[in-house]
Every structure is written in structure tokens, then in C-alpha cells.
Amino acid sequence: MSPLFRRSGGAAKKAPGDRLVTLIGKPGCHLCDDAEAVVQRVCGDLGVPWEKKDISVDEALHKEYWEQIPVVLVDGEQHTFWRVDEGRLRRELLG
């Protein structure tokens, strides 16, 4: 199967398995734990790879996101912060 397929408007989009979700947070953050559960569930259901990054060990991430954690990126672009809406994340990854 090709990693790209066409929308009705002719624009190419990535298949869910070719996306990457990044969860940025820190240990001991209850919102980060909640976000991780949502990301893990959605990505697991859709076959989307995901990674977790810790702002407490990455100065650049800390500087950029410390007031917003947890932050979810989809393909390197900020999708959301603080609370992750499961339906919205699914739509983004499928859409």
C-alpha cells in the first residue's frame, strides 16, 4: 500500500501509519499521565507510532513548552496542549 493517498480535492495526505505523534511532558505531571493514556489508546487503535519527550532533560523543549505541558505534536506541528481530546486527535490522524 502506498504511504500517500488522495483526498477528494486532489491533495495528498499521509496514511495513519506514516504519521508521528510526539507527547511532550515531564514526570509527576498528572495532566501528562492523562494525555499519555489518550495518545497511547488512539495511536494504538490507529497503528500510529508515537514517542514521549521529557522537558526536564531537554533544555530546548523546556524553554519552548514549559508553560503548556503536556503538548502533543503531530508530524512535528503542535496539535494541542494541556488536555488531549481523543476525538480531535483521531480526526487529525485520519483526516
Q: Tell me the residue type at 15.
A: A
pLDDT digits (tens, 9 = 90+) for 46-74: 999 999 999 999 999 999 999 999 999 99
Q: Dihedral of CA 32/83/37/20: which sign? A: negative
- Domain 4-94 is in which class? alpha beta
Stronger pLDDT, 3 or 56, i.e. the higher one? 56
**This prediction's pTM:** 0.84
Q: Is 56 exposed, middle or buried (0-12, 13-18, 19+ CB in 10 A)?
A: middle
